[in-house]
A and B are shown apart, each in its own frame.
Chain A
Amino acid sequence: MAEDAAPKIGVYVCHCGGNISDIADPETVARFASGLPGVAVARTNMFMCSDPGQKLIADDIQAGLVDRVVVAACSPKLHELTFRSVLQRNGLNPYLYEHANIREQVSWATSDHAEATAKSESIVAAAVAKAGRLQPLDPIVVETTPCAAVLGAGVAGLRAARDLAQAGIEVALVEKTAALGGNVAKLDRLFPNQESAGELIGRLVDEVLHDERITLYTLASIDRAEGYVGNFTLHLRQKAGGVVVDRAARLNGRTIGAYRPFEGFMIGDHGAAEEGQNGDDERAVVIEAGALVVATGFEHYTPTKGEYGYERLPQVVTLPDFIELMAGVEPGSRLEHDGRPIKSVGFIHCVGSRQVEGVNKPQADGEINEYCSRVCCTATLAAICDLQEKCPGVAVYDFYQDIRAYGRGHEEYYEKASKGGAVFVRFAGAEPPAVAKAPAGDPCLVTVRCKDGLTWGEEVEAGVDLLVLAVGMTPSDVSTLVDSLKLPVGTDRFLLEVHPKLRPVELAVNGVLVAGASQGPKDVTEATATASAAAAKAMTLLSSGRIELDPFVATVDSQRCEGHGLCVEECAYPGALVLTEENGATRAIVNAALCTGCGACVAVCPTNAIDVAGWTLGQYEAMVDALLAEPQEVTP
């Protein structure tokens, strides 16, 4: 295309199967668009994203009718890439494309037909104005470090590390504690197949420790992270006693470890010490990685003091405490806690989950947890079944809101617990059970009082010797990583994926993937599935040694630049903008891989010599002009 040739813009207006056309009239919008300067064709289709819709564009490009494209449809987050690739497949630069959002921001936000159609017209006019000023752009190619860093060595991290290593990728596996296995190691037998946590972790650890492509760091936490997709740098701090299992340590052949129940897999007397890596002091470790898999997991919710008697009554324990207690109980033996025989056990669900504002006490950070923690129902039922099996005479009271035994093999625990005589009492989230110390002389130690939703809301009281709180999940603290890489976090404070269905294991920061419960409560099955899914994405990123990035970075017009250097002062990214001498003149130069395209430099340039590619000031000015242009009458 000759530089000075007038643009031939194609405008395509989508009906979205009525989503748009029930409110705004695509035909009128297309007619209006056909009268705009630079517009060569304007068409409509039922679903522009469908094959026939895309073919409309392809045919017009192939026929030489259009060399720039505007699609007026849903939000660009859904289909901007779809349409860019239509241009690319048909030989046009994909960045000669502009998207007009007339569904989320028009037909779904307005009920008046005339207003919606007029607004759509203005939005299309602005998009056309921008399209006429688009320049072809080429992606920025970045060489990638052929290594992935996996943060967290719980089941998700172990699984992701193992997958990546087996795919031939070097992996740095970073664990903040001394043990491998994370929270799963603090369990006994796992639902639904009653496999022991130790066996499961042992199997994963075995693969991880045998794979020479994995370097393991224990007792290592993240101080700081920087970089961008393909080239991240992690600054770790490894505590005294932290282990490094790398090729050298493996060759030393003394990487011995053992699984300790309720602690995890401990790397024992290891070869790394000989390398002098293991002194008494903390040490800094720097890791370069092309992609990050965040598998930092969860913390059990800690009840606030006095919540259901926690930390006030010694008979009130959490479910993980109870699981550990039961692991030591031989079948048929007498159940004891705190030196006293236990004849009845109560369980309260949703402790720290499904909380209600004004009812549940906020945590230290002032937050309440509205979300469901997903695993506690089945975990509680499995614990009840274990109790019934080992100590058949013990009475069981289960206080719940809804039994969420959703997974394969979960419902069986519910049935078994019911058949085993557990008494279920349903409470409402707004009226949680009240727990008190039993009055003197009462045969039980603790009383639980609750309005029973199963019997017309009548007040029931159960005396129990032990009360188990089914605590939910809260995200692990990954604030250093979140702050330094600007990772998105949801209202539930877990890491937030780009889209739960389109990109479920990717974070908005390119190259950072999420696995396991750091994204939200998950059971082991679900955690390992997300780990493998995240591994698939990392494998795609790192397999070719190079990736292509969006070209939306600052560009300097060296004809206009006078070397004032205000942009360099304004830029927050070291190295992204520098002044250099060019033919005796000072000029600003951009490092495209470091520039984030924020545009801070654009606003301060006294000679308008800098723009962000794809988002230029000239384009914005033209869009504003187009929005304000008087609508032209177009006769049908």
Chain B
Amino acid sequence: MSETPRFDALVIGAGIAGLQAAVDLADQGFKVAIVERDPSIGGAMIALSKVFPTLDCASCITTPKMAAVARHPNITTFTYTEVLSVGRAGDRFVASVLSKPRYVDEEACIGCRKCEYACPVEVVDEFDGRLGARRAAYIPFTTAIPQTALIDADNCTLCGACVRACPTDAVVLDQRPREWQLEATAVVAATGWKLTPVGAKPQYGGGEITNVLEPTQMERLLAPHGPYGRVIRPSDGKIPESVAYVQCAGSRDQTLGVSYCSRVCCMYAIKQAMLLSGSLPIADITIYYMDIRAFGKGYEEFYRSAQAMGIEFVKGKVARLTENDDQSVTVRVERLDQFGQVEERRHDLVVLSLGMLPGEDVRQRFDLEVAEDGFVMTPQPKDAPCRTTVDGIFVAGTASGPKDIVDTIVEAGAAATEASLYISKMIAAAETATAASSADVTSPAADRVEVKV
């Protein structure tokens, strides 16, 4: 086996948190490996339409960070690669990783998409919120990095069309998964989040009502390069005249085991509502909510402009969603502002403001502890929010609880600082150990400083 590659830091996950942490470490001169299990870096943010409260297009903010990582001389990016386990070996960590087969030679592929155009198999496209289709041979999305095709083995019929179409003979149908190891002094876990399941609540249709959407699906409908290029109702292509948001559809609900607030749903619902009133000027937009949590910088102002735009905010608890014959959805709401009086309203489209779950159970890969909510435990949440229960492993972004993009990026910078200090400390310790033991290191007068609490 070839020599195990060594890095100063291993960043797990190339969403916005991982990208920021990697750049901040690399800018300080540290060698960084960033490992992403998806075929492209970019994470959840790259699939969003626009982001609150500035309404910048999400691509415009994410692509420069993706490009910065991809081109940084101190960063090595591994995509379509999973970290199987991270263990400690002396003063460093050893990660076992699995590079999944793309069935395409990454060096040879020029990203021309001829395989994609030739492939006869159409598959539901997860990136487009399952609203559009892709081929079995594909590049994940327009701005993907790397621009390398891959073949979805589960759906490939082995017809050979891609092999014939490829101008560089890059298709390698007998590629095998490759398990290998890398070493790093510090680890930043940026393993992200996933949506609370859309079908979790039977009273909301259990995921069976076509025109009840996940918020990420609405993001794709609103994205300029989304599946339909405009906002239409998935069931029949109708341009919706009335859209409703059901807040706390996956959070603050003990029956779902998610008692916490997911922190982003109020703001993304308001943002989507504002974008919808731009693209569907005559549509009525209603947000059914318990509390509007517009707590961040500029968020309250954003909420107020949504109110001024005519978006209706109804304080109430949505008890049930039912599908009507015309494929509209009836929302049965207990008006909290009217003594709990029950009201029923029809909407063409309903978006469930689902919450955030941990992206994974990190205990399967690390020796880390998680808190009751399932997210990575941070034993010093106030003064060292990126520290975990293992010295040398730091956490960034939504791996330690729901967070919006602004807070995630700041926290990634903080995780980079923690990791940087840890790496420097380990390097210094190694140097001291190797230096002649006779060296008399004069310590500062620190031990004479008395601190009483």
Contact = CB atoms under 8 A, between A and B. Distances in A.
A and B touch in the complex (CB under 8 A): yes
A587 to B, nearest CB: 40
Interface stretch (A4-12, A252-260, A383-391): A252-260
A58 B81 CA distance: 28
B410 A167 contact: no
Contacts of A403: 291
Interface string A183-205: 00000001011010011101111
A168 B143 CA distance: 39
A250 B449 contact: yes
Interface residues of A, number: 101
A500 B410 CA distance: 9
Given A163-B421, A528-B385, A533-B413, A540 B301 contact: no
Contacts of A257: 450-452
Interface stretch (B1-9, B52-60, B87-95): B52-60
Contacts of A409: 260, 381
A530 B410 contact: yes
Contacts of B56: 78, 501
Contacts of B414: 528-533, 536
A559 interface: no
Contacts of A193: 381-382
Given A500-B297, A533-B411, A540 B381 contact: no
A204 B383 contact: yes
B70 A47 contact: no
Given A501-B405, A529-B385, A529-B414, A406 B295 contact: yes
Contacts of A526: 407, 410
A250 B147 contact: no
B294 A372 contact: yes
A454 B64 CA distance: 46
Interface string B334-368: 00111100000000000000000000000000000
A625 interface: no
Given A163-B421, A528-B382, A212 B444 contact: yes
A412 to B, nearest CB: 8
Interface string B202-227: 00000000000000000000011100
Contact of B145 (A51, A85, A210, A410): A51
Contact of A250 (B29, B60, B63, B444): B444
A168 B423 CA distance: 13
B298 interface: yes
Interface string A489-519: 0001010000111101100000000000001
Contact of A536 (B24, B53, B71, B405): B24
B293 A404 contact: yes
Interface string B371-382: 101010000011
A85 B70 CA distance: 13
Interface in A134-169: 155, 159, 163, 166-168
Best-surrounded residue of B294, B295, B298, B381 (most CB of chain A within 10 A) = B295
A456 B452 contact: no
B60 A78 contact: yes
A402 B449 contact: no
Contacts of A501: 51, 54, 56, 61, 405-406, 409
Contact of A533 (B64, B111, B304, B410): B410
Nearest to B447: A210
B261 A410 contact: yes
Contacts, number: 259
A407 interface: yes
A340 interface: no
29 contacts: A17-B224, A46-B225, A49-B60, A49-B67, A50-B147, A51-B67, A85-B71, A166-B424, A203-B383, A211-B446, A250-B448, A255-B450, A256-B452, A404-B293, A405-B293, A406-B293, A407-B263, A408-B401, A408-B402, A454-B336, A494-B297, A499-B54, A501-B406, A519-B297, A529-B407, A529-B413, A530-B414, A532-B386, A539-B417
Interface in B379-422: 381-386, 400-402, 405-407, 409-418, 420-421
A313 to B, nearest CB: 29
B159 interface: no
A323 to B, nearest CB: 16
A417 to B, nearest CB: 14
A404 to B, nearest CB: 5
Interface of B: 24, 27-29, 51, 53-54, 56-57, 59-61, 63-64, 67, 70-71, 111, 142-143, 145-147, 223-225, 229, 252, 259-261, 263, 291-301, 304, 315, 336-339, 371, 373, 375, 381-386, 400-402, 405-407, 409-418, 420-421, 424-425, 444-446, 448-453
Nearest to A50: B143
B383 A200 contact: yes
A79 B406 contact: no
B61 A18 contact: no
Contacts of B301: 370-371
A505 B297 CA distance: 13
B291 A505 contact: no
A543 interface: yes
A165 to B, nearest CB: 10
Given A81-B64, A255-B450, 20 more contacts: A17-B142, A17-B225, A18-B229, A50-B147, A82-B64, A166-B425, A250-B448, A253-B448, A372-B299, A404-B294, A407-B261, A408-B373, A408-B400, A412-B259, A456-B339, A500-B53, A528-B384, A529-B414, A533-B410, A539-B417
Minimum-distance CB pairs A-B, first 7: A533-B413, A202-B453, A532-B414, A17-B225, A253-B448, A402-B291, A520-B297
Nearest to B63: A49
A396 to B, nearest CB: 18
Interface of A: 16-19, 22, 46-47, 49-52, 54, 74, 78-79, 81-82, 85, 89, 155, 159, 163, 166-168, 190, 192-193, 195, 198-200, 202-206, 209-212, 247, 250-251, 253, 255-259, 353-354, 370-372, 374, 402-412, 415, 426, 453-457, 492, 494, 499-502, 504-505, 519-521, 524-526, 528-537, 539-540, 543
Contacts of B297: 371, 492, 494, 500, 519-521
A153 B74 CA distance: 34
A190 B381 CA distance: 10
A505 B413 contact: yes
A202 B383 CA distance: 11
B291 A500 contact: no
A536 B452 contact: no
Given A199-B453, A404-B293, A411 B260 contact: yes
Nearest to B418: A532
Nearest to B111: A52
B62 to A, nearest CB: 9
A255 B413 contact: no
B225 A18 contact: yes
Given A202-B451, A456-B339, A50 B373 contact: no
Contacts of A457: 337
A250 to B, nearest CB: 4
Contacts of A81: 64
A19 B57 contact: yes
A240 B410 CA distance: 38
Contacts of B402: 408
A402 B225 CA distance: 36
B293 A504 contact: no
A501 B304 CA distance: 22
B103 to A, nearest CB: 21
A191 B361 CA distance: 25
Contacts of A537: 24, 413
Contacts of A89: 71
A166 B427 CA distance: 13
Contacts of A250: 444-446, 448-449
A400 to B, nearest CB: 8
Nearest to A530: B410
A540 B24 contact: yes
